[in-house]
A and B are shown apart, each in its own frame.
Chain A
Amino acid sequence: MRKTSIALIIMFLVMAVFISGCPKKTPPPPPPVAPPPQPVIEEPVVEPEPAPRIELRTVFFDYDKYNIRTDQAARLADNAEQLMRFPDVKVRLEGHCDERGTEAYNIALGERRARSVKNYLTEYGIPATRITTRSYGEERPVCRESTEDCWQRNRRVEFIVVE
């Protein structure tokens, strides 16, 4: 019973390819250049938007943690999607920590955060050769106050486009 249905589906597919492929030998329908500026709502249409640029966003982490937070998954997925669309771009993932750690441990932790993001990207399908990691621990904070908000901004992995 199942075998026949599979056979039917295959037959149908083969025929479909045959019918669609045969008559017109014109190029595939939607050229990748075609999609016009997608619903860019935030930007008032002042500039006609030059070449599409890659814009990778920083991913944030919990204290003394390196796992990808659920609220960060969307922007990381977006970064991965962009990297798929720009196959020539290479990135360096820079891991950082807040000041509430010891210097050396934080460098090890920042490296692990960067490698955690790298692992996500390679599982997404981006070749590992396009990604390098580096940790600065707590040495390069973006914010120097001792507040939770500031610490959160420092616990991050930045995407640096290297070529």
Chain B
Amino acid sequence: MKKLFFIAILSTLCFAQGDAYLRITDYGTGVMRLAVPDFVPRFDNFGAEWDSVMLELSNVLRADLRFSPFLDVIDSSLYPQKGVTDPKDLDPFGWTALNAHAVVLTQFDTDGRRVSLKVGIYSANNRSRIMRRDYQASAVQARRLVHRISDDIHKALTGEDGVAQTQIAFVSTRIGGIKDIWVCDYDGYAPRRITDSRSIALTPNWSPSGDKITYTSYKNDSPDLYMFDIYKERETMVANHEGPNLTSVWSPDGRYICYSRIADNNSELFLKDVRTGDETRLTYTPHAIETSPTFSPTGREIAFTSDRSGSPQIYIMDMMGTYCRRLTYEGRYNDTPDWSPRGDKICYTSRTDHGFQIAIIDVAYGDPIYLTSVGSNRSPRWSPDGYHIVFSSNRTGTYHLYTMNWDGSDVRRITRAGANTEPAWSRRYKWSFD
């Protein structure tokens, strides 16, 4: 499956940044196979507690790298050598027998409060160096530091940015059964609550710079639009027009927020200038609901949901509200579109005879592909690299968040507590470390 996926990527990809060991666009040898042995302590006397920390961090790095559609991490129980830190000690025959292309060697050091890691990537057959870098951070940031290391390895090997340093905002009922906005790392780790609405909070969305989240909250009884600044930890009101102020989304340049509110007695789309607060009305359909806008990566077009045909379907128009065309024709209920960061596809929720399912559709050709079939699956959102989708599913009975590759493979559940819905994947950013 992964191989097929890789080849599909090759055919669609048309750029790659320099300095990569294996430019994924260059040739189609398939997925790159990595060996990532457990981190090796610099000294033997860190104690049992640190042993378990090191093992956990090693597992985090393997999971991060395995998340990439271009990389595969070989099962660590098969490795021929343990405790290697010097590439000269690598046994080329043992590693190439596993079909490993490269080995990631990591030496771990700590003084109890800070951790430092020496990371090297070496070719499995000739021990030549591909990347060699040192990292350090306070111990509480160790897990995030490993995400950074994973992204650097991904970039060095494939020329593409990874997504290990991204976050997901979502709606969760895990405290008091009340819908609040939460944020977690891309793998579901470190969940933290953003709102304390004591009512209902919905449809979170990230600003392109990743420092703000907009969402709708009933905290003042009626559904108004708010913005939360993650660094200043401050909430401000964005729009409180009469009726629902809903489904806010940021333009890629961060200048505008597009959202739906009531005009002519029903829901229409508006473009709000973030700096001046000026609003431009984009749709004029007094008989039809418009919601859930999403910008194309260029910012020139907006896809959205409208029931102007009699049932909710997805349409595309330009940023002035003109040149509107219908995108989805299959199914009686298509909603929550999200435009891929690569520009060519839109993922959305489609109601089928077997409940809601995740579909993707090519913007130019328009044939939908259904990616899920078990349970009810809704609210898909692209990862910033356009290779993954996060969505909400009740396949276990309760709604939880899952991630998958955009071909439907490698499904991972990332939430455990409460009911979790309406995810939104942040853009990439580089975390800073003390």
Contacts and interface: CB of A to CB of B under 8 A. Distances in A.
A134 interface: yes
Greatest chain A CB density within 10 A among B267, B311, B378 is at B267
A105 B335 contact: yes
A133 B422 CA distance: 25
A68 B137 CA distance: 63
Interface residues of B, number: 35
A103 B223 CA distance: 13
Contacts of B349: 102
Interface in B178-210: 179, 200, 202-203
B266 A112 contact: yes
Contacts of B200: 136, 139
Nearest to B262: A111
B357 interface: no
A81 interface: no
Nearest to B266: A112
B258 interface: no
Greatest chain B CB density within 10 A among A105, A134, A139 is at A105
Contact of A108 (B221, B222, B267, B333): B267
A27 to B, nearest CB: 44
Interface string A98-122: 0011111101110110010001000
A108 B266 contact: yes
* In the complex, the 5 A-B pairs of residues with the closest C-beta atoms, listed nearest first: A108-B267, A102-B335, A108-B289, A104-B247, A107-B244
Interface of B: 171, 179, 200, 202-203, 216, 221-223, 243-244, 246-247, 260, 262, 265-267, 289, 291-292, 305, 307, 311-312, 333, 335-336, 349, 351, 356, 378-379, 421-422
Given A104-B246, A111-B262, 20 more contacts: A64-B307, A102-B312, A102-B349, A103-B171, A103-B422, A104-B216, A104-B335, A104-B336, A105-B291, A105-B335, A105-B336, A107-B216, A107-B223, A108-B246, A111-B266, A112-B266, A133-B243, A134-B222, A135-B244, A139-B179
